[in-house]
Chain A
Amino acid sequence: PSVSLLNQETLQQRLQALIEGARESWTYAIFWQSSYDYSGTVLGWGDGYYKGEEDKGKGKLKASASTAAEQEHRKKVLRELNSLISGSAAPTDDAVDEEVTDTEWFFLVSMTQSFVNGSGLPGQALYNSSPVWVAGPDRLASSMCERARQGQVFGLQTIVCIPSANGVVELGSTELITQSSDLMN
């Protein structure tokens, strides 16, 4: 079953509170919602809150893994998504033509992903009923999970998946964050 609108609002507020209230600097939070089909439990997009990266230093250019062609592709997709949301008659939003950062793209792509129980970092956390904490570019790059490797390419240094009621909460950061019992609680 899909999350009702009311639940979606509550979920959004809780994800936002989790990130904004944390001592660590998280870039995004995603709730992967569990559902059941003939093959078993599947984790799919529930909701997400994107905070973005800390602004470090004035005028410092953000390192990006994207080429000019990749940027064009991202902007094109964003323009199409924007028309889908606001209606094709709406004027094009100027913000859509701003560079789409690597972490923004990673977050957007996440909306299309799902995990069967036991697969990927969210699937592992659910299957083992235990948090998965991957910190450091090397650990992300050598992960069995494609999503973790992709995250590293897009500049993430930490991805955490914590099992919770009806799903898994995932947090990602461009900073190196070591395990915190504070957050778990």
Chain B
Amino acid sequence: IPSVPQARKASLARFLEKRKERVMSA
């Protein structure tokens, strides 16, 4: 996996966190 610049890293962290919430509430 190529290195992830900061803006993408922040977006990615948020996406993974929200995904966790979606999976837990399903």
Contacts and interface: CB of A to CB of B under 8 A. Distances in A.
Contacts of A181: none
B16 A80 contact: no
Contact of B7 (A46, A50, A52, A85): A46
A108 B24 contact: no
Q: Is chain A's interface secondary structure helix, strand, loop, or mixed overall?
A: helix
Interface residues on A, range: 20 to 34
Interface in B1-26: 1-2, 4-16, 18-20, 22-24
A5 B11 CA distance: 11
Interface of B is mostly: helix
Contacts of A8: 7, 10
A85 B8 contact: no
Contact of A104 (B2, B9, B19, B20): B19
11 contacts: A5-B10, A45-B11, A47-B7, A48-B11, A84-B9, A84-B12, A85-B13, A95-B24, A108-B12, A111-B4, A111-B8
